[in-house]
Every structure is written in C-alpha cells, then in structure tokens.
C-alpha cells in the first residue's frame, strides 16, 4: 500500500486551472472604469466568434467610444472608423470579403447620434453584417453627456436636471427602428447587468452571427452596459441603476428573427 506523502508538493497540480481569458483577447488588463459594462459585453462577442470558429475569418469595424481603448486587446483584424460610419465602412469590407464575418462595434452616441443614417441605410440594403451597439445612454468617453438614446429623466452633464422631452426631445430606440425595416434579419436587446443577462446576451449575439453566416441580412444586438462613471453613481450600484433607468425604456428580448418565420 502506497503512502501519500502529504509534505512534498504534488508533481503536477491536482487540477488544471482553466484560463478565463478568451483566446481572441490578447490581455485582460484594460483601462476601462471599475464597474463598466463594456469589457464583458465585448468579451461575450469574442467568445461567440471563437465558438463559431470565425477567429480566422472575421473583421471588426469599430466606432469611437471608451471601448476604443479595449479594442487594442482584441486579437481580430480590425479598423477604427469615423464616428457613426461603421455600418458604411463595414459595407465596403463585407462586399469585398464576403467570406468573412464582418461586425461593427458602436456606442449609442456613435450609432444613434452621428450614425443614425448609416445604420438605417445599411439595414435597408440588407447588408450582411452584424452590428453590436453598446448602449449606456451617455457619451462615456467624453465624460457623461446626453446622447440621443439617453432616457427621459436621465441626469447627464448636459441635461443636469434630467432629460426633459419638452426641451431635449425623446430617446430614439434604434433597435426598434432597425427591426421595423425589411433588410434586418435579427434584432435583439440584451444586457450585462447579471450573469443570467450575460448568458442571454451571448445567445442573442450567437444568433446574430448565425443569421449573417446564413446570408439573411443585417443583424443588430443592442447591449445595455453600465457606465457608473458617466452616470455619477458608485460602481457597485451601476447594474441596479441601469435596469431602473435604461432598462425601463429599452426592454430586453428579441425584437425580430427572420430565422424563425
């Protein structure tokens, strides 16, 4: 009977610790704020790309926002384009590289303010691309100003008493607009405020890429992401604050799926 030596260290670790870093991320060290929802949203997209075996045939078209500092960690071919123009730039890329999964990453300021025309026309043309919009209802990168997606009552640096419809107008639910157009194949709205929400968002993103691979048209996943810094709330309260404010205006779920009709 062999005796286990409990004093000497084991030759090999008893359990191999799995890395939590997706392969398509070059490092986990990022410069975004504590409690920011963007890193986990982008990781979710990268994991889906890996799962679908698109690592070596995908091109990312990135807009401008805080996630700009994160995209330097992505191990995928990419270009950063002008504010709002990602769907137009992606159109040129996809038409030349139809074998690639082409995806865009924009914030609400990028897509809804400056780029509303581009996302709607790309949808109308049924461009076979997947668009990811990270919606936190503020221009996070510039310090928390109102965007076209800020919800009513939302306090931002330039709507300090809260967004007032009579003065600032109403928020634009861009996913609903995209879903209403014929060229969209899949539209969903997810969130990253909880583990369950992340799991659901992953499903949405997966379906969005699948519709692109099937050649069905434009797919859009809007992901609500926490911006405690831009909202001026403690990092720990970000998730609750988000679902109390943005979550009420932008209900989660699938808005359209041509794969199911």
Q: What is the binding site for ligand SF4 (CB under 6 A)? A: 32-33, 36, 38, 66, 136, 140-141, 227-230
CA 62 to chain centre: 11
- CA 261 to each of CA 186, 219, 256, 257, 258: distance values in angstroms, whole numbers, following the listed order: 11, 15, 10, 7, 5
23 binds, among other proteins, ligand SF4, none (CB under 5 to 8 A by kind): other proteins
Question: Residue 82, exposed/middle/buried by CB under 10 A (0-12, 13-18, 19+)?
Answer: middle
15-44: contacts with other proteins (CB under 8 A): 23-24, 26-27
Whole-number Å distance between alpha carbons of 148 and 171: 5
CB of 244 to other proteins, least distance (A): 35
78 binds, among other proteins, ligand SF4, none (CB under 5 to 8 A by kind): other proteins
CB of 212 to other proteins, least distance (A): 13
Residue 234 binds to other proteins (criterion: CB under 8 A): no
Residue 174 binds to other proteins (criterion: CB under 8 A): no
Closest to ligand SF4 by CB, 128 or 159: 159
Q: Which helix (H) or strand (E) holds 241?
A: helix 238-244
HSE-up of residue 209 (Cα within 13 Å, Cβ side): 27
Residue 56 binds to other proteins (criterion: CB under 8 A): yes
210 binds, among other proteins, ligand SF4, none (CB under 5 to 8 A by kind): none
Site string for other proteins, 74-113 (x = CB under 8 A): xxxxxxxxx--x--xxxxxx-xxx-xxxx-----------
Do the beta carbons of residue 185 and residue 219 sit within 8 Å? Answer: yes
Stretch that binds other proteins, among 56-64, 133-141, 165-173, 240-248 (CB under 8 A): 56-64
Residue 131 binds to other proteins (criterion: CB under 8 A): no
Closest to ligand SF4 by CB, 41 or 88: 41
Closest to ligand SF4 by CB, 137 or 217: 137
CA 97 to chain centre: 23
CA 260 to chain centre: 23
What radius of gyration do the chain's Cα atoms show? 20
Closest to other proteins by CB, 73 or 131: 73
Whole-number Å distance between alpha carbons of 89 and 69: 20
Pull the structure tokens for residue 92: 């040129």
Q: Which of 125, 122, 107, 68 is nearest to 222 (CA)?
A: 107
Residue 148 binds to other proteins (criterion: CB under 8 A): no
Pull the structure tokens for residue 111: 């897509």
CB of 148 to other proteins, least distance (A): 18
Q: Which residues bind other proteins (CB under 8 A)?
A: 23-24, 26-27, 49-50, 54-59, 61, 71-82, 85, 88-93, 95-97, 99-102, 117-118, 121, 125
């Amino acid at each position: 009977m062999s005796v286990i030596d409990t004093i000497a260290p084991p030759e090999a670790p008893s359990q191999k610790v799995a890395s939590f870093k997706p392969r398509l991320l070059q490092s986990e060290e990022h410069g975004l704020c504590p409690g920011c929802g963007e890193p986990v949203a982008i990781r979710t997209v990268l994991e889906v790309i890996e799962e679908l075996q698109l690592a070596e045939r995908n091109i990312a078209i990135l807009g401008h926002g805080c996630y700009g500092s994160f995209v330097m960690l992505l191990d995928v071919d990419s270009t950063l384009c002008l504010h709002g123009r990602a769907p137009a730039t992606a159109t040129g890329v996809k038409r030349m590289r139809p074998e690639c999964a082409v995806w865009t990453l924009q914030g609400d300021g990028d897509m809804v303010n400056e780029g509303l025309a581009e996302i709607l026309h790309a949808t109308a043309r049924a461009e076979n691309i997947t668009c990811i919009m990270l919606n936190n209802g503020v221009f996070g990168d510039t310090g928390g100003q109102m965007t076209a997606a800020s919800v009513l009552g939302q306090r931002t640096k330039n709507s300090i008493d809260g967004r007032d419809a009579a003065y600032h107008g109403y928020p634009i639910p861009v996913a609903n607009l995209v879903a209403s157009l014929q060229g969209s194949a899949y539209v969903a709205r997810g969130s990253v405020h909880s583990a369950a929400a992340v799991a659901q968002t992953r499903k949405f993103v997966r379906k969005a890429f699948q519709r692109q691979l099937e050649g069905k048209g434009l797919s859009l996943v809007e992901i609500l992401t926490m911006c405690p810094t831009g909202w001026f709330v403690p990092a720990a309260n970000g998730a609750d604050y988000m679902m109390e404010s943005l979550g009420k205006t932008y209900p989660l779920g699938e808005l359209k799926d041509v794969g199911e009709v």
